[in-house]
Chains A and B, each alone.
Chain A
Amino acid sequence: MGNLAEFSLPVRMLLRAYRWRRIDPVPWAPLRKPLAESRIALVSSAGFIAPGQPSFDDSVRGGDVSFRDISSSTNVSTLVETHRSDSFDHGGLAGDPNVAFPIDRVRELAQRGRIGAVAPRHLSFMGSITAPGRLVRDTAPEAARRLVADGVDVALLVPV
């Protein structure tokens, strides 16, 4: 299991003391159709940006809660990982963004017929959001509306 021992003492103390938002009640959307007929989108919190997209704003107190649309046709090697944390090794992400944004893997699943289709866009957030109020109130609902508009059935969320 990933564990807190990976982090420096100040980060461990922050993670232990932080007042995590408890989801209550827990919503539940059952799979409406077989995966082989479902459209899947990726949602990443690695702070990936595609060529030409604005960077996330590290100066925002509590974290930049905006997100970037990542086109399904994006060449994964062109994505730039910009996660602001220096508490983990970024080398894997730099060498293979699929390790946190597995667009090539999802395309392969569609080719095999394991999933029905790859969504036309995916979403990239910045992680380490310590003040998620605007994320919950504004950004996440807008993100969901976009995926609903795209006919997405399933989302795979990958942190970093």
Chain B
Amino acid sequence: MCLVAAELERQGIATVAIVLLRAIAERVRPPRALCVPFRHGYPLDTAGDAVKQHAVIEAALRLLEDPTLTPPAVVDYQEGGSHPVPGR
């Protein structure tokens, strides 16, 4: 996913990637990544729960709107929070 994201960005499409393993995202360095605390197989949290899925997507979209981020932007998802916070 991260390698595809990089190519999309090279061709002018802004991307944000959901990431399940921060350590790998830090090594690969996608342009924008939202690190989520969920199990593999559940990248948008709970199956059948539109509210929770929207919360994750909204956090991802906010990364696109954040003018302070610089590449690579690897940010942790804050469950129940209104704003994701920059990672390490």
A residues engaging B (CB < 8 A)?
Answer: 1-4, 6-7, 15, 20-24, 26-32, 35, 41, 43, 45, 87-93, 95-96, 98-100, 102, 104-106, 108-109, 114-115, 125, 127, 132, 135-136, 140-141, 143-145, 147-148, 152-160
Closest Cβ–Cβ distance, residue B77 to chain A (whole Å): 9
* Interface CB pairs A-B, < 8 A, 18: A3-B21, A6-B39, A20-B24, A27-B6, A27-B9, A29-B12, A92-B41, A99-B45, A102-B53, A105-B53, A109-B57, A114-B61, A144-B4, A153-B13, A154-B13, A157-B1, A157-B2, A158-B1
Contact A45 B1 (CB under 8 A): yes
Q: How far is A26 from B7 in the complex, measured between Cα atoms in Å?
A: 10
Contact A102 B41 (CB under 8 A): no
Q: Is the interface of B mostly helix, strand, loop or mixed?
A: mixed
Closest Cβ–Cβ distance, residue A159 to chain B (whole Å): 5
Interface residue range, chain B: 35 or more
Q: How far is A114 from B62 in the complex, measured between Cα atoms in Å?
A: 11
Contact A2 B38 (CB under 8 A): yes
Contact B15 A89 (CB under 8 A): no
Q: How far is A138 from B33 in the complex, measured between Cα atoms in Å?
A: 23
Contact A6 B5 (CB under 8 A): no
Q: How many A-B residue pairs have CB under 8 A?
A: 207
The verdict on A27 contacting B71 (CB below 8 Å), with A20-B28, A141-B7 known, is: yes
Contact A90 B29 (CB under 8 A): no
B20 within 8 A of A: yes
The verdict on A24 contacting B3 (CB below 8 Å), with A102-B53, A145-B11 known, is: no
Tell me which residues across on chain B come within 8 A of A155, comparing CB atoms: 5, 8, 13-16
Tell me which residues across on chain A come within 8 A of B47, comparing CB atoms: 91-93, 95-96, 98-99
Contact B18 A143 (CB under 8 A): no
Closest Cβ–Cβ distance, residue A37 to chain B (whole Å): 12
The verdict on A98 contacting B44 (CB below 8 Å), with A2-B36, A29-B31 known, is: yes
Tell me which residues across on chain B come within 8 A of A132, comparing CB atoms: 3
Contact A105 B39 (CB under 8 A): no
B40 within 8 A of A: yes
Closest Cβ–Cβ distance, residue B9 to chain A (whole Å): 4
Contact A95 B48 (CB under 8 A): yes
